[in-house]
Chain A
C-alpha cells in the first residue's frame, strides 16, 4: 500500500489510491511539511504534531484492517489496539485484522514498544479514529438513502435506518464514504456504554499460539536464506587478535567464515561469523573455529569489585542531584529518630524465551530486515547509515516476539545480520544461542542504594534521602555527558510522597563499566522500588505504626487512598493471624499505581513459603481486564525470579551464568496464588505491561520481616535460607 494523497482537511489522511475500494483513515506526524497531519483529539490539541500512529482501512467486503505500529511481545497490543477501534467503529472484533507496520519514523513517529506506552500513548486517537470512520459511513448511507443522518445508526458493521429498518453493510458504503470529508466534531462514547472495551475479550493471537502457526523471528524463512552464528569476544570490550577457520570451513554445510563487528552503544563488539546452509552446521563450524582474543587495555571486572565500588560510592561519592526539597541531610543529622539502610539489587539477564535473532537481505543498495524487534524505526535509523544507505532503503518488518522485556529494543543483532548479509551477498538469519543471549548482554544494571530518613516526634517523616549507585543507561550513548544525573532516580517512587515529605533529596553516583545495560521490564523501577518500599517499611517500624497506615499518613491524594483501601480489604490485612506475615508495597510506574500484599508463613520444616499475592492496579482508563490480569500475573512471576532465584554475576570481565541450568527460572511450583483487582475510573490511561513488577520484591521482604523479624536488604535471596 502506498500513501499518495494529501489530506482533505486538516486532520485526517486518506489514501487516494485506495479510495474507490476502501475507506482509509489515519494520522501521522508531519514529514518535512508534506501533506500530513494528525488527528485533533477533542480538546487536546497538545497531541498535534507529536508521536503518531496507526491507520485503519475498511474494504468493500466490510473487513477492517488496522496497521499497528507497535510490536507484540506478549503484552497484548495485537488485541487491545483493535479492541479500541472496534468499539467506536461498531464492528465485530472478529472482522478486524491487525497487521504489523514496517519501521518508519516518518510515517508513524516513535514505534519503540517500551515504557508500557502503546495504549496510554494512543488510545484517545484510536477512539477518535474509529468514531470518525463510523460517522463517515453513517453519512454515506444517509446520502444513498436520501434520509436524515440523525435517523441512522451503526451496529455490527452495518448502518441501519431506524424508521424503515433498511441496512447497508459497511462494505457497500466505503466508496461513498471515501469521497466525504472527515468530520471534526465526532463525540466519543461514554465509557458506561462500552460494548467491547473493558470486557475480557479473548485475544486474537491466542489461536495462532496454540497450534504452532504464529511466526516468531526464529520461524521466519525467506528464499535462499543462510544461517549464521557468531563467536563473539566473551569480554565486553575485547577485540579479535587472530583466527584460524580451517577446521570450521571443513564442516559440511559451512559456507563463509568472516570477521564481524556490531555496535554496542558507543563500542564495537568483535567476533567471527560462521555462515552455513543450516543452523546446526553453523553451530558445528563455530565449535571448530579457533580464535585468539585481544583483551588488553580494559579492566576485567568481577561482581565483587563492582559492588564494592558501588557500596563505597553511596557512602562517599558525590551524588548527581536529581530532585531535592528543603535540606534533608541537615534535618537528618539533627533528628533523634532516624533510620539508615543499604539495599542491593543484582544484574539480571532478560532471557526472553526466544533468543535474539534477525534476518537481513542486502541487495541492490537496499536492505530488508525481519525479526523480533521492539523498535523497527530505531533499527531503520541505525542500520541505514551503517550500510551507507538512506533510511527509506532499509525496510524493517516485525514478526511476533517470543518475549521482549526491553532486550529486543537493542540494536546489536539487526546490526550483525545486516553487515553479514552485505558481506556474503546473501540473505541470512543470525541466531544467538541461549548462551550468547545470556552472556553478551545487555543486562539490567545492578544497583546499590543508601536510604536515610528521620521522623518527627509524632512519627511522620521529616527527611528522606536516597543515593543510588549503578550504571546510568544514558551514559552509554556516544557523546553522552557523564556528568548528567540519572533522570530515573525516582522511578517507582509514589509521586504523591513528594508533596507530603517536607525535606527530600534523590541523587545518583554513576558507575562506569563496559557492561552493556538496557531496560529490563519496568526499568529502574524494578530495582528502585525494592529500596524505596523496603525503606518506607523500616520507617514505619521505627515509628511503631502499621505499614499501611504509615503510608496513608504520607499520601494526600484520594486516588491513592482508594487503591490502598481496596488492597487492605481484599487482602484481609487487618484480620491477619499471628503466624502469618503480611507485607505491602505500593509503587508508581509509567503512570500506573500498583499496590501488592504478599502473605507468607512457615512450612512444617520452619522454612518460609509464599501463600498468596494480592495485587490492585489503578491504570486509569483501560481496554481489556483479562490482558491486565495476565500482565500482572506474569510480572509477579518475573519479579519473583529476580527477587529469589536468579542473578547474573561477572568474573574476570565475563558473565558467569550462561544457560537455564545455572540461571534458574521460576517454574510452576514456585508460583504462588495471585489475586488481581483493577480499579475502575476515568483517569488517563497508564501502562499495563510493566508496573506490577516493582512492588512484588519489597512486599515479599516486608512480609518476611513481619513474620520473622529478619530484614532482607539484598536481592536475590533464597527463600530456602530465610
Chain B
C-alpha cells in the first residue's frame, strides 16, 4: 500500500492504494467516480478512457502510482451539466443507447476536437477506432463529432 496524490478534475485527492492498482479502479472504487467504465481490462475497448494531461489514455492499464500529481480528467470533469459542446452534440444527435461505452467515446471525442476542431472522416476514424460500442452507435458518434465541431467553431467565431 502507498499514499498517492491524485489530481482529478482539478481537485486534489490523496488515496491509500496498492501502487499497481490500475487508475480505473482507483477512480471508481476509491475516489468514487463511477462515470468511467470497466469494459475489458486490457486496453481494447476504450470504455475506461480518461485524459492524462489532456491526452486520452486507457485507465484500466495504467498503474495508479504512475499518474500521481498529473492532471486527470474523467467524464465528470467534462461538465456535470452537459454544457460541453461534445455533450451537447451527443444529446442533439441522440447518440447513446445503453450508454455504457459513451463516457469513453466522449473522452476520445473531446480530446480529438481540442487538438483539431475540424476533423475529417479519416481523423474521426483514427481517434475513435479504439472504442467499441456494442449497441452500434458509430454512425451517430461520427455525426455528433461533426456537430460538436460546428458548435465549437461557432463559439469561436462569436468570440
Contacts and interface: CB of A to CB of B under 8 A. Distances in A.
Interface in B31-46: 32-42, 44-45
Contacts of B29: 227, 278-280
B36 A353 contact: no
A626 B34 CA distance: 28
Interface stretch (A398-406, A575-583, A588-596): A398-406
B120 interface: no
A667 B96 contact: no
Which of B29, B79, B94, B131 is packed against the most chain A CB atoms within 10 Å? B94
A633 B136 contact: yes
B98 A353 contact: yes
A212 B87 contact: no
B91 A76 contact: no
Interface in A370-418: 400-405
B128 A636 contact: no
A401 B106 contact: no
Given A207-B82, A209-B102, A660-B44, A353 B134 contact: yes
A433 B133 contact: no
Contacts of A400: 98-99
Contacts of A637: 133, 135-136, 138
Interface string B66-88: 00000000111011111000010
Contact of B136 (A219, A660, A666): A666
Interface string A178-212: 00000000000000000000000011011111111
A343 interface: no
Interface string A629-640: 011011111100
Contacts of A665: 45, 132, 134
Contacts of B1: 252
B99 A668 contact: no
A2 interface: no
A353 B39 contact: yes
A281 interface: yes
Contact of B18 (A281, A402, A636, A638): A281
A212 B103 contact: yes
Interface string B84-120: 0001001100111111111100100000000000000
Contacts of B138: 637, 666-668, 671
Nearest to B99: A209
Given A278-B30, A434-B39, A75 B97 contact: yes
Given A660-B132, A671-B139, A280 B101 contact: no
A659 interface: yes
A403 B98 contact: yes
Contact of A638 (B25, B28, B76, B136): B136
B41 A211 contact: no
Contacts of A280: 18, 21-22, 25, 29
Interface string A436-447: 000000000000
Given A280-B21, A669-B125, A210 B96 contact: yes
Given A210-B82, A353-B132, A671-B138, A659 B91 contact: no
A498 interface: no
Contact of A630 (B28, B35, B75, B94): B94
Contacts of A210: 82, 87, 90-91, 95-96, 102, 106
Given A210-B106, A402-B37, A202 B94 contact: yes
Contacts of B106: 210
B35 A402 contact: no
B7 interface: no
A633 B132 CA distance: 15
B78 A74 contact: no
A213 B36 CA distance: 10
A507 interface: no
B47 interface: yes
A403 B134 contact: yes
A203 B94 contact: yes
B141 interface: yes
A214 interface: yes
Contacts of A157: none
A76 B97 contact: yes
A505 B1 CA distance: 67
Nearest to B142: A668
A209 B47 CA distance: 13
A211 B97 CA distance: 14
A403 B135 contact: yes
A661 interface: yes
Contacts of B95: 206, 210
B137 interface: yes
Interface string A199-242: 00011011111111111101101000001000000000000000
B114 to A, nearest CB: 17
B134 A352 contact: yes
Contacts of A105: none
A404 B45 CA distance: 17
B124 interface: yes
B129 interface: yes
A671 B136 contact: yes
Given A278-B25, A634-B97, A668-B129, 12 more contacts: A202-B91, A206-B94, A209-B96, A212-B75, A216-B99, A352-B134, A353-B100, A353-B134, A354-B100, A630-B97, A633-B136, A634-B135
20 contacts: A74-B99, A203-B96, A210-B87, A213-B80, A216-B100, A218-B34, A219-B34, A278-B29, A352-B134, A355-B38, A402-B99, A403-B100, A631-B97, A633-B139, A633-B140, A637-B135, A638-B136, A660-B40, A668-B124, A671-B136
For the complex of A and B, list the 5 residue pairs with the smallest distance between their C-beta atoms, beginning with the closest: A212-B35, A637-B136, A402-B100, A209-B99, A74-B98
